[in-house]
A and B are shown apart, each in its own frame.
Chain A
Amino acid sequence: SYELTQPPSVSVSPGQTARIPCSGDALPKTYAYWYQQKSGQAPVLVIYEDNQRPSGIPERFSGSSSGTLATLTISGAQVEDEADYYCYLAGTSDFAFGGGTKLTVL
């Protein structure tokens, strides 16, 4: 089964760039996906297939992946971006979320 590692927390000031890493040995073999979960709400997909942004997701959200590291970048983070962020990998028979990163914007 996949193991994905994320830092428990990341903090930035409004307007700064937030970078949330996700590491895992399976990353070279499959796409990374990113979900945002605000308190008390269901998760929302913010990046799919490493770097694609669903419609309705602000342009400040971007993703990249190289080797065993995937990164979610929020350029010019806003207070409303404060949430938990999870990377997700889907293989042919293995599926897993990272442990999650709490982003604080203040």
Chain B
Amino acid sequence: EVQLVESGGGLVQPGGSLRLSCAASGFTFSSYWMNWVRQAPGKGLEWVANIKQDGSEKYYVDSVKGRFTISRDNSKNSLYLQMNSLRAEDTAVYYCASALGAPTGNWGQGTLVTVSS
């Protein structure tokens, strides 16, 4: 069974940092582009970042460029999102998703990040 399990969310003060992790199982992780997608409370989906299979290409939404870093460890079947200089508007459920747009893609259940003093 394919599983994507996010962890690392929580409450952080503005300006603080968090590192999200996504543990993948049940599929060949190293064969897929991986993504982080977020959803603020009561709002729509927002694509945040993605990374190529070998980590050689990474793309970010403008609002997180220079603050967030996506990475992966194919030996551990894991995806990461390092989030620095967090702002209130970064408050959201963060989803890990494989192969957005592909019928073979999957999503995790999300981890909540709350940025508040």
Chain B binds chain A: yes
The reply on B27 being an interface residue by CB < 8 A is no
Interface size on A, residues (CB 8 A): 25
A49 contact set on B, CB distance < 8 A? 101
The reply on B68 being an interface residue by CB < 8 A is no
Nearest-CB distance from A75 to chain B (Å)? 20
In the complex, the answer to whether B101 meets A42 with C-beta atoms within 8 Å is no
When C-beta atoms are compared, the residue in chain A nearest to B110 turns out to be: A42
When C-beta atoms are compared, the residue in chain B nearest to A96 turns out to be: B47
A33 contact set on B, CB distance < 8 A? 100-101
Query: B59's contact among A43, A84, A93, A97, by CB below 8 Å, is which?
Result: A93
Nearest-CB distance from B96 to chain A (Å)? 10
- Tell me the chain A residues, 17-54 only, with Cβ under 8 Å from chain B: 31, 33, 35, 37, 42-43, 45, 48-49, 52, 54
A48 contact set on B, CB distance < 8 A? 101-103
- Tell me the chain B residues, 66-102 only, with Cβ under 8 Å from chain A: 95, 100-102
Nearest-CB distance from B3 to chain A (Å)? 12
Q: B-contacting residues of A (Cβ < 8 Å)?
A: 1, 31, 33, 35, 37, 42-43, 45, 48-49, 52, 54-55, 84, 86, 88, 90, 93-100
Q: A-contacting residues of B (Cβ < 8 Å)?
A: 35, 37, 44-47, 50, 59, 61-62, 95, 100-103, 105, 107-110
Some 9 contacts from A to B, beta carbons below 8 A apart, are A1-B62, A33-B100, A37-B45, A42-B108, A45-B102, A88-B100, A94-B59, A95-B47, A95-B61
